[in-house]
Amino acid sequence: MTYPIVQQQTLEPVMKPSFLQAARRSVSDLPRTLPHQVLVFKHGASLVRGDERYIHGNEPHVLEATSVSVVDMTVGRAVTVQVPIKSAGATEFTVSATFACTVRDPEAVVRDGHQDVAGALTNYLCAHQRLFELGLPYELDAVEQVRGDVAAQLYAYCTMTPPLVSGMEIVLSHVHVAKPEEVAQSQRDREVKRYDLRGDHELKTEARFREREYELQEQDYQHHRISQDRQFARTQASADRSHQIEDAAKMREYLQSGSGAHETLLLSAPDLSPADYTEHLAGFAKDARQDALARVATALDDLRWSRKVSYEMQVKRAEGRIEVIRAAIHRGLFDQAAGEDLLRMLEAGDATAPVDGNSLAGTNQAAVEPTGPAEPRHPVDGDGHSRRAGDGQEHPFRDDPLMEEDMRA
């Protein structure tokens, strides 16, 4: 992470949603900041400092900004830079200078583009040529003398010519001179630490992955087990129902096999007391009587219904014959006096009979269906035609006046 500018981001123009609604930039489009960080907006040709806690999105410098920067405002932030200097031998000393940095003007920092102050401080040390001559008289074993000379030289240099970075206050806080093996060891330590951190991160990532995979496998196992349990329960319930149906069918067949089946079944039951045996026999007898009574009631209902239907059919047949005779009389095809007598006889016999399904009158059948042909009151010639007195017209007349089919024809 760079210092003092932690992050920079460009912003897209905000479009006005409608004519009646004011434009507003969403706060979620801006970078998130920590308590020691501030936002600096590029508004036209100027830079404006803003606080995320009090930004609503409709401020002009927020609404019209083209970019935003996050500046670290930590007081006394330690920044270390290293510069190698030559020794009397072929190797080099490494000078490490630590500066305490504080941002005083974040707008100036963003304007001058000081994204990483370490580079500016390295250039500041390299500009002091006298620093690179301090190690030439000494070998690597005289590192202590070199440290004193370098520290005195740098403190004097920073006092006379302090580092100038716009918008920041920088003070030299510590100077250290290390031999090559110390630098190498320090570098190795940093690498090991970085490797350990990366290894720990990878191990943690692998552990989280394994845990997640185990959780998924556990969920799959639970779902599979639940599905298998449900399938087994359904299969078991179906088998139990099938066995119950088979047992009930066998029991019904056995009980219907004979009169002594109930007694045999009860005698074969274990731990059955005489009182229970008597009670079961009484229950079986009661059930048998109820079944017999139910069958008798059903048979009586069927008999009543059949008699009622038979009687209604006889009444309908008698009424049809009466209508046929009336039609014949109306057309003059029937002797009027004989026909009227027959109609009175039929109406007195069938039409007035009570509709009773239990006792049907059998004598009405004889009234409806006479045993022989009715004798006409007028003389009949040899062809079976009736001739009235004073009338020369013959009327065709059949011997059986109750044949509806012949009369309709």
| pLDDT grade for 25, boundaries at 50, 70 and 90 | confident
Best CA proximity match to 367, nearest among 295, 331, 306, 314: 314
User: How far, in Å, are 75, 188, 208 from residue 202 at the CA level?
Assistant: 34, 20, 10
At 380 the pLDDT is 44
Q: Out of 40-49, 106-115, 312-321, which region has the weakest mean confidence (pLDDT)? A: 312-321
At 353 the pLDDT is 43
pLDDT surpasses 60 at 10: yes
Euclidean distance between CA atoms 291 and 286, whole angstroms: 9
Euclidean distance between CA atoms 373 and 376, whole angstroms: 9
pTM, entire model: 0.47
The segment(s) of the chain belonging to CATH 3.30.479 are 77-187
At 96 the pLDDT is 92
Buried b (16+ CB within 10 A) or exposed e, 379-406: eeeeeeebeeeeeeeebebeeebbebee
Best CA proximity match to 93, nearest among 182, 191, 189, 190: 182
**Single-letter amino acid, residue 236:** Q
Q: Out of 138-142, 257-261, 305-309, which region has the weakest mean confidence (pLDDT)? A: 257-261
347-397: pLDDT as tens digits? 665 444 443 433 333 333 333 344 444 444 444 444 444 444 444 444 444
At 324 the pLDDT is 79
Euclidean distance between CA atoms 151 and 330, whole angstroms: 154
Pairing of strands 37-43, 46-50: antiparallel
At 249 the pLDDT is 73
Whether 72 contacts 4, CB under 8 Å: yes
Whether 7 contacts 70, CB under 8 Å: yes
Whether 368 contacts 319, CB under 8 Å: no
219-255: pLDDT as tens digits? 888 888 898 889 988 888 888 888 888 877 776 666 5
**Single-letter amino acid, residue 242:** S
CATH architecture of the domain with residue range 77-187: 2-Layer Sandwich (3.30)
Whether 167 contacts 104, CB under 8 Å: yes
Best CA proximity match to 25, nearest among 41, 12, 42, 8: 12
Q: Regarding predicted confidence, which is higher, 57 or 278?
A: 57
Cα angle: 177, vertex 178, 179; to 5 degrees: 135
Residue 111: exposed, middle, or buried by beta-carbon count in 10 A (0-12, 13-18, 19+)?
A: middle
Q: Is the dihedral of CA 188, 190, 191, 192 positive or negative?
A: positive
273-302: pLDDT as tens digits? 556 656 666 666 676 677 778 888 888 888
